[in-house]
């Protein structure tokens, strides 16, 4: 109520079931989150000037970088920066960008996304979305699948706001391939398991399927030109990285190079 008095507007709608933010309340919460991030960055700058490296980095990550690239990076970063704690949230690209804009995370690792002047994007590694299926489920010629045969399969997909799904659906539409059935699953791991059982075909990041392809559990295929994309480090355009965040991005870029080489070798 003190804030409402200072703002001169109602910030919260209260009823018997609880309370919700008004549009003015949502706007204030957005700016409050961004202000908190700026204060945290300032605190880290003071630590740096004092010769201390400590604090907490909050990172949001979409599924591909969060599950298949971050673990190695976190191990490297912890060895070099033992006094810095890293907290990670994993969700779809769309959800993570929403949290970035709302001030809930100051740094994000995401896949392909539309340009937004509020967000600064910096590529940190290349990726390819590849088709995968149970070995011998499809008749492949030179690693290419027959469009008619693909259309007869069930397409296993991620949630609607997934960058991986957006890239693959665009490629299928461009090739005029419309599978008869679609199953939406909530994780890449669930999709891989369904594909290994022969329940359908899927399109996933090469980082997600490299090990299964190497072990012969999944077979990779393409439907045309390789579906190349970049994975990005995202932050608010007006907010600079803190010293610890800069160190993390440098570690990320360095550690991911070996993941890129391994995945490229498995998915030729």
For the segment 196-215, what is each residue's pLDDT rounded down to a tens digit? 999 999 999 999 999 999 99
pLDDT tens column, 106-120? 999 999 888 899 999
Position 142 confidence tier, pLDDT thresholds 50, 70, 90 = confident
Q: What are phi and psi of 215, to 5 degrees?
A: -80, -5
Which fold does the domain 127-229 belong to in CATH? D-Maltodextrin-Binding Protein; domain 2 (3.40.190)
Tokens of 238: 């007006």
pLDDT higher than threshold 60 for residue 50 = no
Cα–Cα distance for residue pair 44/41, rounded to 1 Å: 5
pLDDT tens column, 207-259? 999 999 999 999 999 998 899 999 999 999 988 888 888 889 999 999 888 88
Cα–Cα distance for residue pair 46/100, rounded to 1 Å: 24
Q: What is the DSSP letter of 222?
A: B
Residues 204 and 62 sit within 8 Å (Cβ to Cβ):
no
How far CA 90 is from CA of 57, 109, 137, in Å, comes to 14, 9, 32
- Residue ranges, CATH 3.40.190.10, the chain: 2-126+230-266, 127-229
What's the CATH superfamily of 2-126+230-266?
Periplasmic binding protein-like II (3.40.190.10)
Q: Is 11 helix (H, G, I), strand (E, B) or coil?
A: coil
Q: What is the pLDDT of residue 22?
A: 79
Cα–Cα distance for residue pair 109/234, rounded to 1 Å: 6
Q: Are strands 181-184 and 154-157 parallel, antiparallel or unpaired?
A: parallel
């Amino acid at each position: 109520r003190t804030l409402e008095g200072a703002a001169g507007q109602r910030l919260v709608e209260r009823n018997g079931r609880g309370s919700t933010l008004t549009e003015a309340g949502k706007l204030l919460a957005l700016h409050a989150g961004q202000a908190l991030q700026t204060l945290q960055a300032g605190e880290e700058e003071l630590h740096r000037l004092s010769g201390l490296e400590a604090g907490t980095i909050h990172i949001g990550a979409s599924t591909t970088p969060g599950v298949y690239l971050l673990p190695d990076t976190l191990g490297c970063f912890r060895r070099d920066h033992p006094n810095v704690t890293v907290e990670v949230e994993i969700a779809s690209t769309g959800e993570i960008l929403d949290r970035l804009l709302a001030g809930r995370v100051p740094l994000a690792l995401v896949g392909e996304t539309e340009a937004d002047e509020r967000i600064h994007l910096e590529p940190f590694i290349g990726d390819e979305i590849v088709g995968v299926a149970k070995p011998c489920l499809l008749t492949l010629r030179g690693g290419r699948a027959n469009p008619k045969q693909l259309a007869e399969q069930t397409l296993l997909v991620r949630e609607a706001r997934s960058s991986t799904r957006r890239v693959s659906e665009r490629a299928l539409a461009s090739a005029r391939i419309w599978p008869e059935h679609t199953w939406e699953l909530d994780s890449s791991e669930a999709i891989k398991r369904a594909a290994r059982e022969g329940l359908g075909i899927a399109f996933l990041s090469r980082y997600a399927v490299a090990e299964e392809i190497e072990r012969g559990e999944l077979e990779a295929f393409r439907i045309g030109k390789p579906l190349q994309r970049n994975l990005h480090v995202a932050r608010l355009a007006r907010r600079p990285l803190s010293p610890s965040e800069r160190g993390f991005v440098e570690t990320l870029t360095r550690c991911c190079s070996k993941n890129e080489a391994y995945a490229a070798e498995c998915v030729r």
